[in-house]
């Protein structure tokens, strides 16, 4: 499998009080079109990841909205898998090219979370969990991940300091990323002493509420050199599911969907985990990055904390994780995150990641999760 | 292009006060699996069309929900394009097979509209239209289609009686369909004299609010005979978009997205409109069926009313339209409708449509619309 990325575009992630969803999506899409040096009319289809525009802004049918605003009349498909919507949009864009029906595809992700129409953002986000068996009983996403964290601490001795190190590292990386919502560094003490949200997770263990959009131009591999001297190729794509409800799973500390999606993607790419030079993983909460590094195989189960203690996941470490700043510092506009992750890997592989550029970047990975792990999508990128 | 349908399953359409979304989806999915005589573990991916579970029942991430309830861990993708969500799910399922990544795919459509969580159904459905430029100013879907109807009457002399004939015909067909929400015949006078909803459209010009689910098992064409002696093939798939807002369009009386999607599908299938033996078209309002028959090419623009006067679209007519009973009589669980349309064509081509079976059914067409025409999806089926 081989599909090329020939263009990327992203808005500033943060609170956009002066821009609505369509404006954010158009900005990201237009930047990607310009980066790819194509015309809008070259695009065959649009895949847009969006989780909950219906509840956030009363607007469904957002892919057609974006297509119409771009002046196009091509197939426009919104895909949704909660916070993995962006990763799924990327995957469906890839499959549509492999199907032979499309040559060039615009893959976007967008979410406007601050214009909340009804109830609370926390309530709306619980649409990603099991409404009848989790939300109804008062669970929230911080509390779901707090249970994962407590169990991880119990089973493997993972510490609060190790979780805090995820936030500190990702804020450092985010301070080097102009698109990030937070550009400031934080300390372990600040994480540990910030407001308690769901014991043991404090405010600085949690990714924020964010508006933003991101876009990629995908192209049939054989056509890539026509548009750019510096294409990046997607060589593996895996997606897997699990029960929506956390309590239905075999384990609280492994996301089986991540394990399975990664196996599929590695096999398709013809690589092992040791070939991966860097990864953007789904750190919606600090514990989630620890669990992800284990489930993706960057260390043994239970040793995600140790990986942080060793500095292995820092910019100059053995396996840099979330060089963009992750969901934690770049922000988490839920439907856009999976596409943003891909952009970071593309920039690293092109050597355009500026102050956060890592050395010898040849193979990168993205890992996007929906809910507490009911969906996981893994992609492998290569120069 | 050629992909096979080897199984179909559908719930009764109507008000389901004793079943929730997951139960409806599982019922339809299980029936389709049994009809195809496969095991659940044979399925490679699930594509689920759903418009607005977030607003109707607070639940996003519905494809993973269904996958989990079926005990599967495969890729599960919700696709959304308003009332065309089911048609898009079918199309994406097809593309995923053509991509070579999947052999067997479950395509579902499901909507639970009667458990409304917040505001009104009419308000929630306006998520399919332009929230900022249509909904905000008080427009509703009946009023949008009323404008289309008034303009069609003005331009082409279409009459209220002709619109009523759509409802009468589709209720007749629905009276022969056990899955239909309404099994009773109605008269032209009853349509004309029912409660006015949005002048000129009365209550019986409008499709109802419905719960229901529908499912198809798709399979790589070369593998179909392994599972069934009676496969139906999808030989053409077209999708197109237009502006979300009706007022931004070139015309009120032609859905350009329908015209374009049909052209693509006919070309791909290697047929002309004259080869089509029957069609399920998107009659969310009676005027919509008239416009659709014109835009698909079954008659000249403006002559959709005449087609009804001639009886050409009746069960024994030249080109039977909505043999199932259409959205009007079968009901319109928005995300499920596009899949239900495909099931009707499959049953007709298999010769299993019982009392509504048409003669010499060789090629059938489905036409699914999102919003007031911002999305249109057309599929061509053959024996």
| Domains of chain B and any CATH numbers | 3-119+210-227 (3.40.47.10), 129-208+235-382 (3.40.47.10)
Q: pLDDT (tens digit, 9 = 90+) per residue, A159-195?
A: 999 999 999 999 999 999 999 999 999 999 999 999 9
How far is the alpha carbon of B220 from chain A, nearest alpha carbon, in Å? Answer: 12
Q: Is the pLDDT of residue B20 over 90?
A: yes
Q: pLDDT (tens digit, 9 = 90+) per residue, B238-270?
A: 999 999 999 999 999 999 999 999 999 999 999
**Residue A370 DSSP label:** E
CA-nearest residue to B50 within chain A is A80
Contact A127 B54 (CB under 8 A): yes
Q: pLDDT (tens digit, 9 = 90+) per residue, B346-360?
A: 999 999 999 999 999
pTM passes above 0.90: yes
Q: Reply yes or no on whether B83 is catalytic.
A: yes
Mean pLDDT of B192-217: 98
Complex ipTM tops 0.90 = yes
The predicted structure's pLDDT at residue B158: 98
Percentage of residues of chain B with pLDDT beyond 70: 100
Residues in chain B, total: 383
Higher-confidence residue: B116 or B231? B231
The predicted structure's pLDDT at residue A117: 77
User: For residues A84 and A369, is the Cβ–Cβ distance under 8 A?
Assistant: yes
Mean pLDDT of A340-357: 98
CA-nearest residue to B375 within chain A is A64
Nearest CB neighbour to A101, from listed B53, B57, B98: B98
Contact A61 B129 (CB under 8 A): yes
Q: pLDDT (tens digit, 9 = 90+) per residue, B283-341?
A: 999 999 999 999 999 999 999 999 999 999 999 999 999 999 999 999 999 999 999 99
Percentage of residues of chain A with pLDDT beyond 90: 98
Q: pLDDT (tens digit, 9 = 90+) per residue, A234-249?
A: 999 999 999 999 999 9
How far is the alpha carbon of B360 from chain A, nearest alpha carbon, in Å? Answer: 31
Whether B98 has its CB under 8 Å from any CB of chain A: the answer is yes
Whether B256 has its CB under 8 Å from any CB of chain A: the answer is yes
- Average pLDDT for chain B: 97
Contact A370 B61 (CB under 8 A): yes
Residues of A whose CB is below 8 A from B88: 77
Percentage of residues of chain A with pLDDT beyond 70: 100
Contact A77 B92 (CB under 8 A): yes
Percentage of residues of chain B with pLDDT beyond 90: 98
Residues of A whose CB is below 8 A from B130: 65
Q: Is the pLDDT of residue A118 over 80?
A: no
Whether B67 has its CB under 8 Å from any CB of chain A: the answer is yes
**Sole residue written with tokens 């991540």:** A258
How far is the alpha carbon of B170 from chain A, nearest alpha carbon, in Å? Answer: 27
Catalytic option among B16, B282, B332, B379: B332
Between CA A107 and CA A93 the distance in angstroms is 6
User: For residues B79 and B85, is the Cβ–Cβ distance under 8 A?
Assistant: yes
* Best residue of B75, B85, B136, B372 to probe chain A, by most A CBs closer than 10 Å: B75
Mean pLDDT of A65-72: 96
Q: What is the DSSP string of B299-338?
A: S-TT-HHHHHHTTTTSTTSSS-B-TT-HHHHH---TTTHH
Burial B191-208 (b: 16+ CB within 10 A, else e): bbebeebbebbbebbbbb
The predicted structure's pLDDT at residue B116: 81
The predicted structure's pLDDT at residue B111: 98
Whether A63 has its CB under 8 Å from any CB of chain B: the answer is yes
How far is the alpha carbon of B177 from chain A, nearest alpha carbon, in Å? Answer: 30
Contact B79 A81 (CB under 8 A): no
Q: pLDDT (tens digit, 9 = 90+) per residue, A277-290?
A: 999 999 999 999 99
Whether A379 has its CB under 8 Å from any CB of chain B: the answer is no
Contact B131 A57 (CB under 8 A): yes
* Best residue of A48, A54, A144 to probe chain B, by most B CBs closer than 10 Å: A54
Interface subset of B 222-241, CB within 8 angstroms of A: 239-241
* Best residue of B59, B241, B246 to probe chain A, by most A CBs closer than 10 Å: B241
Q: pLDDT (tens digit, 9 = 90+) per residue, B34-81?
A: 999 999 999 999 999 999 999 999 999 999 999 999 999 999 999 999
Catalytic option among B83, B206, B219, B284: B83
The SS3 assignment for A366 reads strand
E strand or H helix that includes residue B373: none
- Average pLDDT for chain A: 97
The predicted structure's pLDDT at residue B119: 72
* Best residue of A95, A98, A121 to probe chain B, by most B CBs closer than 10 Å: A95
Q: What share of chain B is helix, strand, coil (3-state, %, to 5)?
A: 40, 20, 40
How far is the alpha carbon of B186 from chain A, nearest alpha carbon, in Å? Answer: 33
User: For residues B329 and B186, is the Cβ–Cβ distance under 8 A?
Assistant: no
The predicted structure's pLDDT at residue B323: 98
Mean pLDDT of A343-366: 97
Structure confidence at residue B23 as a pLDDT band (50, 70, 90):
very high
Residues of A whose CB is below 8 A from B24: none
| A113-127, A211-225, B311-325: range with lowest mean pLDDT | A113-127
Q: What's the N-to-C CA distance of chain A in angstroms?
A: 14
How far is the alpha carbon of A23 from chain B, nearest alpha carbon, in Å? Answer: 12
The predicted structure's pLDDT at residue B117: 77
Between CA B48 and CA B123 the distance in angstroms is 23
Q: Burial, B288: exposed, middle or buried (Cβ in 10 Å; 0-12, 13-18, 19+)?
A: buried
Mean pLDDT of A277-305: 98
Between CA B129 and CA A35 the distance in angstroms is 31
Q: Hey, which residues of A are catalytic here?
A: 83, 332
The predicted structure's pLDDT at residue A125: 96
Structure token pair of residue B305: 């009313």
Q: Is the pLDDT of residue B118 over 90?
A: no
Contact A240 B75 (CB under 8 A): yes
Between CA B36 and CA A351 the distance in angstroms is 50
Nearest CB neighbour to A80, from listed B20, B78, B96: B78
Whether A99 has its CB under 8 Å from any CB of chain B: the answer is yes
How far is the alpha carbon of B193 from chain A, nearest alpha carbon, in Å? Answer: 34
Contact B52 A52 (CB under 8 A): no
Q: Is B138 left (phi over 0), alpha (psi -120 to 50) or beta?
A: left
Q: Is the pLDDT of residue A119 over 80?
A: no
Alpha carbon A13 to its chain centroid, in Å, reads 13
């Amino acid at each position: 499998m081989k599909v090329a990325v020939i263009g990327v575009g992203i808005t500033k992630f943060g609170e956009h009080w002066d821009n609505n969803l369509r404006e954010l999506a158009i900005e990201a899409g237009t930047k990607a079109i310009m980066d790819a040096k194509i015309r809008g009319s070259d695009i065959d289809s649009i895949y847009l990841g969006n989780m909950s525009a219906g509840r956030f802004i009363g607007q469904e049918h957002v892919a057609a909205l974006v297509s119409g605003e771009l002046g196009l009349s091509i197939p426009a498909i919104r895909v949704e898998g909660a916070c993995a919507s962006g990763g799924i949009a990327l995957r469906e864009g890839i499959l549509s090219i492999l199907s032979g029906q499309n040559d060039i595809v615009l893959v976007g992700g967008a979410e406007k979370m601050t214009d909340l129409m009804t109830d609370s953002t926390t309530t709306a986000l619980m649409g990603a969990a099991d409404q009848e068996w989790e939300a109804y009983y008062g669970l929230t996403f911080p509390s779901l991940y707090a249970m994962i964290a407590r169990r991880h601490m119990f089973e493997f001795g993972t510490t609060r300091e190790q979780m805090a190190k995820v936030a500190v590292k990702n804020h450092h990386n985010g301070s080097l990323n102009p698109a990030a919502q937070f550009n400031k560094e934080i300390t372990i003490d600040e994480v540990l002493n910030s407001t308690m949200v769901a014991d043991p997770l404090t405010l600085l263990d949690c990714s924020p509420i964010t508006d933003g959009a991101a876009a990629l131009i995908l192209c049939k591999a054989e056509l890539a050199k026509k548009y750019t001297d510096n294409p990046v190729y997607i060589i593996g794509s895996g997606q897997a599911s699990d029960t929506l409800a956390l309590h239905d799973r075999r384990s609280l500390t492994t996301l089986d969907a991540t394990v399975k999606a990664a196996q599929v993607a590695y096999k398709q790419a013809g690589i092992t985990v040791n070939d991966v030079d860097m990864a953007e993983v789904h750190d919606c909460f600090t514990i989630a990055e620890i669990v992800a590094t284990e489930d993706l195989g960057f260390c043994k189960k239970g040793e995600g904390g140790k990986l942080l203690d060793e500095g292995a996941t820092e910019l100059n470490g053995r396996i840099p994780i979330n060089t963009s700043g992750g969901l934690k510092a770049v922000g988490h506009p839920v439907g856009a995150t999976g596409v943003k992750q891909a952009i970071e890997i593309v920039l690293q592989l092109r050597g355009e990641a500026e102050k956060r550029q890592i050395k010898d970047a040849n193979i990168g990975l993205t890992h996007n999760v929906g809910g507490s792990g009911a969906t996981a999508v893994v992609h492998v990128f290569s120069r």
